[in-house]
Structure 1
Amino acid sequence: MIREDDPQFRITPIQQMASACTGALITSLFMTPLDVVKIRLQAQQKATLSNKCYLYCNGLMEHLCPCGESPWMPKRTRFEGTFDAFYKIAKFEGVPALWSGLCPTLVLAVPCTVIYFVCYEQLRYNMKKNYNERTKTTHQPMWIPMLAGATARTTAVTIVSPLELIRTKMQSKKLTFAEISGALQQEVKAKGLGGLFRGLGSTLLRDVPFSGMYWTMFETIKRSFNKTEAEKNSFLFNFFCGSVAGSIAAFITLPFDVVKTHQQIELGEKEIYTDGHARQKATSIQDTVKSIYNNHGVKGLFTGVVPRIFKVAPACAIMIATFEYGKQFFQIYNTQQYKEKMQRHQEIMLMSPTSSDYSF
């Protein structure tokens, strides 16, 4: 039987990276057409508004766009609904248009996802191993995936935060690499290295609680079902657990997402409409929460619960199911390699004389 904690069969960090990279690619391919349609409908709805931004997400990362300037919204086309948007985009612009923006998404999403999943796997495995050695048990307590998920997300988001700032500047207007480099140098000169991590706090505000909650739910749901190891490692079962865990985590952490969205839009508007030279102080998290509550009450903190769950659940399900399937594939591969190695070793031992032939 294949055991995850057996060092002979455990997948390597390189194999974990390959699994995470595959998951990111597949998630992007499946989710991007759905979000391109959503972007077009949002842009159409908000095109009459001036000096406003909106966010869209393809399941792995978010993009910020100024309304009325979106390159994804031809003026000649008006959509009457979701299916009409699918039809008209494919008819007038070609089917590949449904995957608009896929390349820049992968440039940032793939490394972020790889760092996140590999970091989580390494942390969870080592924490579980140390806990089991210390307590002489074999089970995994709930706090391990929660702590590993939160730590992994913090690490991944922090590492790619400067790239997020570059992406925001590139979305604001067409810039050459020399102009981007100059803008970043001015940012560092004016605000120090901390200037490269603007908006990091509001991103961590949502992503860290979500990741901790998601992995805890995922591991708990998998363990609660009385299934064999092979059944628990199947693609469909992991898809189910991932969608349920993603839905629960998305609902519980929705207030964090609402606050994060408000702050990211505020930051984006300053970047886009003041050419990145805004000096006004950003609104604090406490002030953002207070503003939302005063204007909309508790209900305002749960705005968009249905579309968020519909967006997050399939993205989480596809990503985790693909990742777990990749892990299972490499575990089987490692097992086969180990068996072949042992078989070759036995053949060599049989062909050569041993010390036992000369023993008394």
Structure 2
Amino acid sequence: MKDDVAPGQKPNSITPSQQIIASSAGALITSLFVTPLDVVKIRLQAQRKPFVKGKCFVYCNGLMDHLCLCTNGNGIAWYKSPGHFRGTTDAFVKIIRNEGVRSLWSGLPPTLVMAVPATIIYFTCYDQLRDILIHRMQNNPEVASLLAGATARLGSATLISPLELIRTKMQYRPLSYKELRLCIQSSVAKEGWVSLWKGWGPTVLRDVPFSAMYWYNYEFFKNWLCRRNNTKQPTFVISFMSGALSGSVAAIVTLPFDVVKTRRQIEVGEREMFNYSQTKSSSTWRLMYTIVAENGFSGLFAGFIPRLIKVAPACAIMISTYEYAKSFFRKLNLE
């Protein structure tokens, strides 16, 4: 995020290519740090309460959700259980010893292939839009950030949605590129080009409000912490704390939409995996009504703690790395 600028000063002091490098670095570091934590969390979770055979479940490595199939009561498709874990540290040690250190980054390659371009589009568009809006909305950086964040997320989610569909299909079963092309052609022939944007609705309902609240609160917390520390430039620690706080708030408010998206993702996954007959999917609001009827209002906030534990550090690492990289390029350009 750029600081407020003096009248007449160019608001964006780094180039778009430098913004791309900064966002790529943030996405890469976020994935490298968060993926092992979530892999271990899922393994411990499977040990305490084994997943039902033949069912899908979702895990997230900070940037992207991944759908996995449970092959038996104790093992998941992408790992073999090396024995009982006594805790988080023991899980790290046993996984590395029995499966190799690479197992801690399960699912990272497909994330980098798709999530890094999505992150580049999102953050670069956000910065460019915020520069334009903040120039027209003097002394109101929070509102400018809210509008820029929502618009950038809407645009990036729409552009990336077909790639998300392709990634999801390849995740269910191994497909050659020829089979994948035929699968997409068949889907387009039956349902038209709009079929490539399946799942766009729930994604937008979750991610656009999340993005709007995240950037609004990030700007608010960043400015507040800068005032408390008597500094005009946000430090790495200020960016980190602001990202964690704003990410936590946005994650809590948008949790019902995340619950709906996860349920729909799992249902679609099981249909694809076991060739169930295609059924008409319910609307987001009808699915919410079903969840409330089955589990009460609290059902919309299932997984509150795990989501908070995942989102807060991911947001903190991403934004602080991004800000640090932009600060580096600003100084480089001045020199």
TM-score, L = length of structure 1? 0.85
What are the equivalent positions in structure 2 for 1:1-360 lying under 5 Å apart? 4=5, 6-7=9-10, 10-44=13-47, 49-68=52-71, 70-75=76-81, 77-132=83-138, 139-225=139-225, 226=227, 232-274=233-275, 278-336=277-335
Asked if 2 retains the 8 angstrom alpha-carbon contact of 1:9 and 1:331, the reply is no
> Which runs of 5 or more residues in structure 2 are unaligned?
none
Supply the distance in 2 between the matched residues of 1:262 and 1:231 (Cα, whole angstroms): 44
Post-superposition offset of 1:43? 4.5
Supply the distance in 2 between the matched residues of 1:181 and 1:293 (Cα, whole angstroms): 39
Supply the distance in 1 between the matched residues of 2:81 and 2:128 (Cα, whole angstroms): 49
Asked if 1 retains the 8 angstrom alpha-carbon contact of 2:82 and 2:94, the reply is no
Supply the distance in 2 between the matched residues of 1:202 and 1:236 (Cα, whole angstroms): 33
Max Rg structure = 1
Q: Please give the per-residue CA displacement for 1:123-160, whole angstroms capped at 9, x wherever unaligned.
A: 1110111233xxxxxx1243211111111111111111
Give the total of aligned pairs: 327
> Which runs of 5 or more residues in structure 1 are unaligned?
133-138, 337-360
Post-superposition offset of 1:252? 1.4
Asked if 2 retains the 8 angstrom alpha-carbon contact of 1:3 and 1:9, the reply is no
Supply the distance in 1 between the matched residues of 2:328 and 2:82 (Cα, whole angstroms): 48
Query: Closer, same or farther in 2 for the Cα pair 1:65/1:9, shift >3 Å?
Result: closer
Asked if 2 retains the 8 angstrom alpha-carbon contact of 1:19 and 1:323, the reply is yes
| Deviation larger for 320-329 or 91-100 | 91-100
| Deviation larger for 110-119 or 87-96 | 87-96
Identify the residue that residue 342 of structure 1 maps to in structure 2: none
Post-superposition offset of 1:224? 2.0
Query: Closer, same or farther in 2 for the Cα pair 1:104/1:131, shift >3 Å?
Result: same
Asked if 2 retains the 8 angstrom alpha-carbon contact of 1:235 and 1:321, the reply is yes
Q: Secondary structure at the match of 1:64?
A: strand
Q: Secondary structure at the match of 1:17?
A: helix
TM-score, L = length of structure 2? 0.91
Asked if 2 retains the 8 angstrom alpha-carbon contact of 1:258 and 1:302, the reply is yes
Identity of aligned residues (%): 50
Query: Closer, same or farther in 2 for the Cα pair 1:46/1:160, shift >3 Å?
Result: farther
Post-superposition offset of 1:242? 0.5
Q: Secondary structure at the match of 2:137?
A: helix
Supply the distance in 2 between the matched residues of 1:235 and 1:252 (Cα, whole angstroms): 26
Asked if 1 retains the 8 angstrom alpha-carbon contact of 2:82 and 2:95, the reply is no
Asked if 2 retains the 8 angstrom alpha-carbon contact of 1:52 and 1:67, the reply is yes
Supply the distance in 1 between the matched residues of 2:320 and 2:137 (Cα, whole angstroms): 27
Post-superposition offset of 1:72? 2.4
Supply the distance in 2 between the matched residues of 1:222 and 1:114 (Cα, whole angstroms): 22
Post-superposition offset of 1:227? 5.3
Query: Closer, same or farther in 2 for the Cα pair 1:308/1:263, shift >3 Å?
Result: same
Supply the distance in 1 between the matched residues of 2:231 and 2:81 (Cα, whole angstroms): 52
Query: Closer, same or farther in 2 for the Cα pair 1:232/1:308, shift >3 Å?
Result: farther
Asked if 1 retains the 8 angstrom alpha-carbon contact of 2:54 and 2:70, the reply is yes
Post-superposition offset of 1:181? 0.8
Supply the distance in 2 between the matched residues of 1:161 and 1:9 (Cα, whole angstroms): 29
Supply the distance in 1 between the matched residues of 2:233 and 2:250 (Cα, whole angstroms): 21
Supply the distance in 1 between the matched residues of 2:168 and 2:299 (Cα, whole angstroms): 26
